[in-house]
Chain A
Amino acid sequence: MKRKIFLNMSYIALITVVCTTVFLSAVAYGRYMSQVKEGIQNEAGYMAESLNQHENQSLDAYKDITISRITLIASDGKVLYDSTGKEKSMSNHRNRKEFKEAVKNGAGESTRISKTLKKQTYYYAVKLSDGSVLRLSRETQTIFNQVEGVLPVLILMMAVVFVLALALSRLLTGRIIEPINRINLEHPEDENTYDELSPLLVRIHRQNEAIKEKIREIKEKQIEFTTITENMSEGFLILNDKSVVLSYNTSALRILDINEDQCSNQNVLSINRSHEFRRAVEMALGGEPSEEVMEFRERKYLLMANPVTVSGAVKGVVLMMIDVTEKEEREELRKEFSANVSHELKTPLTTISGYAELMKDGLVKQEDVGRFSEKIYTEARRLISMIEGIIKLSRLDENQIVQEKEEIDLYQMTLEIKNSLSMKAAEAGIDLHVLGSPCTVSGVRQILYEMLYNLIENAVKYNDRGGHVSVTAAAMEGRATVIVEDDGIGIPPEDADRIFERFYRGDKSHSSEREGTGLGLSIVKHGAKYHGAKIEVESEVGKGTKIAVIF
């Protein structure tokens, strides 16, 4: 800005100075020339007058009183006299312009510039009364000489002008710029400096508004995005094409067990370098979406890596990490469950079909038929009870029971169960007794009966000869509670979580040492759930089990 103003000022000054000089010189030169010409003309007039009065004078007398060169030319053009004394060598002047004019009009003039341009001569000729022509001439300055003369002055002036322009432009720039600098770009419309600037300021103002709006929008989107990613339990990473982490969420940090410094702008390989992780990232960088299951810190994660492509080129990777530990475990359980079901259902059927085949083929002695039919019958009963159990469970699963709820005394019910189980207990040599006081709950009789029956039956079944089972039904802390306690074989801690699963049996070999379907506790669990009851299990291998159902 300063430079530009300075240059412009300098140009203007230069043009002004040059023009002024040229015009002034031209005017001055014109006046100078007219004065010179007038002088010579007057001189010539006096001399001619003098020569006309007194003929045959020696012109040498005039030579010393004038600086002009005096030439006398005869009427035929021959030079008669010249004050330089070279009249003899001079050529005929017949064709000179001033001579011709003088002969014709009585006076004539001409200006001739010598070849070098350095000199200019003014000639003035007057016709004398005797017909000869008197010519006076004087060397004058040319216009170039004139300009040459003023050139140093001109240069000096220019220098002064430049210095002035420099100082002035500095001052001016400062003055012009200062209000502009004072403009607050946040609120440009507040400062009213130059009218010329107001369109610009208005535009800046509008753009400011637009930018603010855009920033607000972007911030909102950012917040939205962060809220979404922060609140998901899945780990989320965005990598660029050099696999450097650009963005992440807290879940990702938690899953990969790192802090923020170890994550942002770091190569993802320095975060996790397991085989599956690398393969997923590599595949995605190659443009292929991929899924891998990665094991990390005892948990399993499903990695889903998707390439981010911009016009065909992979520009980054979006990586999701989903904890599938439970899912995988459930998968495992389901597999075990179906294996158990088929095994449990198949065992009695195999027995039945085996015995039946033997009888069909007549390989059984008459006296054994009773024993064999007995076997077939018990196995078939077992199968039926198992299927009944499954049906009950599936009903409970679907909440299909629409039976009326009624007030039921749990103490009364346990006594009933004790009576029906007392035979079995006596056979197994187990002491079964019921303690407590009447306590009522509202529930479905059939389901409650099944629950308690299964619990107490289990306590009897999984006990050793001479063991004890004590059942307590009472209201404790305001809630109806049934506690079944035994001093039987107990439940190993690793099985404790799984005893309520269908067909799960502590004895993995499913040997029929202690018969059972593996459905009993499952029915208890579902029944409790149906009645909104809580089950607490305390158990120690070899010492016994205590199961409490709290309504």
Chain B
Amino acid sequence: MRNRFDRQLEQLNIEMIEMGALCEDMIHLAGKLVDIKSKEMILRIDDLEEEINQKERDIERRCMKLLLQQQPVAGDLRMISAALKMVSDMERIGDQAVDIAGIVKKSDVVTVMNNHTHVLMMAASTIAMVTKAVDSFVKKDLDAANEVIKADDEVDALFSKVKKEVISLIHEDPEKGEACVAIVMIAKYFERIGDHASNIAEWVEFSITGEYKGGSL
């Protein structure tokens, strides 16, 4: 009985890693898209979104089944409930990557954005955060999780910087107004992705220590 349960937990762990990897793939693509616009990548990101949604449903079903049929306790229960929370964050990251791709597809912002703002840097920081968050889950690494939570401030700071840059850009050249709106939105999405990554890291911390945001739940 216990054996079967362990196998199912292991399977859940693997599926979580796969979903994390999908999530990473998507944000990598989004990061590349803000650098170079590419039709192929936009299509690929849409494919990945479907895959990640399917994976979310699979994992949710598996978690529910485990909770109802095995009635896990302690560490196992924490791991499963954290997984349930994490998949929604991962799925949101995927959605936001798709949104970024959508904006890049519709408007021509890439050159303006990269010449005048720090969005590319934001993208790099958030990608690093997501990668590290997934890593911290895979390796059950508390330090990595803490680093991700701290890195969120960095991304937030970059976001305010981008905002200021956009404001001065509009002052300089009101013609670029449309592009500026798109830039702000893209930056906002990256900022949100950073938030989700730090949420994931918090849940990783919870599944390891049983403490959520520094206190017990």
How distant is the Cα of A267 from the Cα of B134 in the complex, in angstroms?
15
| Bound-complex Cα distance A550 to B134 (A) | 54
- The CA-CA distance from A275 to B17 in the complex, in Å, is 12
Closest Cβ of chain B: how far from A178's Cβ, in Å? 41
Contact with B along A413-440 (1 / 0, CB 8 A): 0000000000000000000000000000
Residues on the B chain within 8 Å of A278, using CB: 18, 21
Chain A positions within 8 Å of B14 at CB level: 267, 269
Contact among B13, B134, B139 with A262 in the assembled complex (CB-CB below 8 Å): B139
Is there an interface contact between B18 and A269, defined as CB atoms closer than 8 Å? yes
Q: How far is the CA of A274 from the CA of B22 in the complex (A)?
A: 9
| CB of B194 closer than 8 Å to a CB of A | no
Interface residue? A270 (CB, 8 A): yes
CA distance A267 to B18 in the complex (A): 11
Q: Is the CB of B18 within 8 A of A273?
A: yes
Segment 269-319 of A: residues with Cβ below 8 Å from B: 269-270, 273-275, 278
B20 sits at the interface (CB 8 A): yes
Instruction: Kindly report which residue of chain A lies nearest to residue B135, judged by CB atoms.
Output: A273
A285 CB, nearest partner CB in chain B, Å: 13
Interface residue tally on A, bucketed by range:
under 10
Instruction: Determine if A269 and B139 form an interchain contact, defined as CB atoms under 8 angstroms apart.
Output: no
Residue in A closest to B25 when the chains form the complex, CB atoms: A275
Given contacts A267-B10, A267-B14, A269-B14, contact A274 B138 (CB under 8 A): no
Quick check: is B56 within 8 A (CB to CB) of the other chain?
A: no
Task: Give a binary string over B5-23; 1 marks a CB under 8 Å from any A CB, 0 the rest.
Answer: 0000010011001101100
Q: Indicate with 1 or 0, residue by residue over B49-93, a CB within 8 angstroms of chain A CB atoms.
A: 000000000000000000000000000000000000000000000
Does residue B205 face the partner (Cβ distance < 8 Å to A)? Answer: no
Q: Which residue of A lies closest to B131 (CB)?
A: A273
Kindly provide the distance from the CB of A210 to the nearest chain B CB, expressed in whole angstroms.
Answer: 35
CA separation between A262 and B10, bound complex, in Å?
A: 15
Binary interface encoding of chain B residues 103-144 relative to chain A, with 1 for a CB under 8 A from any of its CBs, else 0:
000000000000000000000000000000010001100000
Q: Judging by beta carbons under 8 Å apart, are A270 and B21 in contact?
A: no
User: Interface on chain A toward B: helix, strand, loop, or mixed SS?
Assistant: helix
Q: B interface, by DSSP: helix, strand, loop or mixed?
A: helix
Q: How far is the CB of B8 from chain A (nearest CB, A)?
A: 13
Contact among A270, A274, A275 with B139 in the assembled complex (CB-CB below 8 Å) = A270
Q: Which residue of A lies closest to B48 (CB)?
A: A275
CA distance A269 to B21 in the complex (A): 9
Q: How far is the CB of B210 from chain A (nearest CB, A)?
A: 22
Tell me the bound Cα distance from A267 to B139 in angstroms. 11
Give Cα A270–Cα B13 distance, bound, in whole angstroms: 9
Q: In the complex, A113→B17 CA distance in Å? A: 95
Chain B residue at minimal CB-CB distance from A270: B138
| List of B residues within 8 angstroms of A267 by Cβ | 10, 13-14, 17
Contacts of A274 in B (CB 8 A): 21
With a CB–CB cut-off of 8 A, which chain A residues contact B139? 262, 270
Contact B17 A269 (CB under 8 A): yes
Closest to B21 in A: A273
- Chain A residues within an 8 Å CB radius of B10: 267
In the bound complex, what is the Cα–Cα distance between A274 and B21 (angstroms)? Answer: 7
In chain B, residues 24-43, which have Cβ atoms closer than 8 Å to a Cβ of chain A?
24-25
Residue of A nearest to B20 (CB): A273
A269 proximity list for chain B (CB < 8 A)? 14, 17-18, 21, 138
User: Which residues of B are found within 8 Å of A262, using beta-carbon distances?
Assistant: 139
CA–CA, A269 to B18, complex, Å?
Answer: 8
The CA-CA distance from A262 to B134 in the complex, in Å, is 16
- Residues of B within 8 Å of A270, CB to CB, are 13, 17, 138-139
Least Cβ–Cβ distance between A279 and chain B, in angstroms: 11
* Residues in A neighbouring B134, C-beta threshold 8 A: 273
Q: Residue on A with the closest CB to B28?
A: A275
Give the residues in chain A near B17, CB-CB below 8 Å. Answer: 267, 269-270, 273
Within A233-270, which residues are at the interface with B (CB < 8 Å)?
A: 262, 267, 269-270
Q: Which residue of B lies closest to A272 (CB)?
A: B21
Bound: A379/B20 CA distance, A: 61
Q: Name the interface residues of A377-431: CB closer than 8 Å to any CB of B.
A: none
Contact of A275 among B13, B20, B21, B138 (CB under 8 A): B21
User: Roughly how many angstroms separate A267 CA and B138 CA in the complex, as a whole number?
Assistant: 10
Cβ of A275: which chain B residues have Cβ within 8 Å of it? Answer: 21, 25
How far apart are A162's CB and chain B's nearest CB, in angstroms? 45
B116 shortest CB reach to chain A, Å:
26
Q: Give Cα A269–Cα B139 distance, bound, in whole angstroms.
A: 11
Taking CB atoms, residues of chain A closer than 8 Å to B138 are 269-270, 273
Q: How far is the CB of B200 from chain A (nearest CB, A)?
A: 15
A548–B46 alpha-carbon span in the complex (Å): 57
State A275–B51 Cα separation when bound (angstroms): 13
The smallest beta-carbon distance between A257 and chain B, in angstroms, is 12
Alpha-carbon gap, A273 to B10, bound state (A): 16
Contact with B along A44-85 (1 / 0, CB 8 A): 000000000000000000000000000000000000000000
Q: Which residues of A contact B21 (CB under 8 A)?
A: 269, 273-275, 278
**Shortest Cβ distance from residue B94 to the other chain A in the assembled complex, whole angstroms:** 14
Query: In the complex the two chains form, what is the Cα distance from A274 to B138 in whole Å?
Result: 13
Nearest-neighbour CB distance to chain B for A85, whole angstroms, equals 88
Residues of B within 8 A of A (CB): 10, 13-14, 17-18, 20-21, 24-25, 134, 138-139
Given contacts A267-B14, A270-B17, 19 further A-B contacts (CB under 8 A): A267-B10, A267-B17, A269-B14, A269-B21, A269-B138, A270-B13, A270-B138, A270-B139, A273-B17, A273-B18, A273-B21, A273-B24, A273-B134, A273-B138, A274-B21, A275-B21, A275-B25, A278-B18, A278-B21
23 contacts between A and B (CB under 8 A): A262-B139, A267-B10, A267-B14, A267-B17, A269-B14, A269-B17, A269-B18, A269-B21, A269-B138, A270-B13, A270-B138, A270-B139, A273-B17, A273-B18, A273-B20, A273-B24, A273-B134, A273-B138, A274-B21, A275-B21, A275-B25, A278-B18, A278-B21
The 3 closest A-B pairs by CB, nearest first: A273-B21, A269-B17, A270-B138
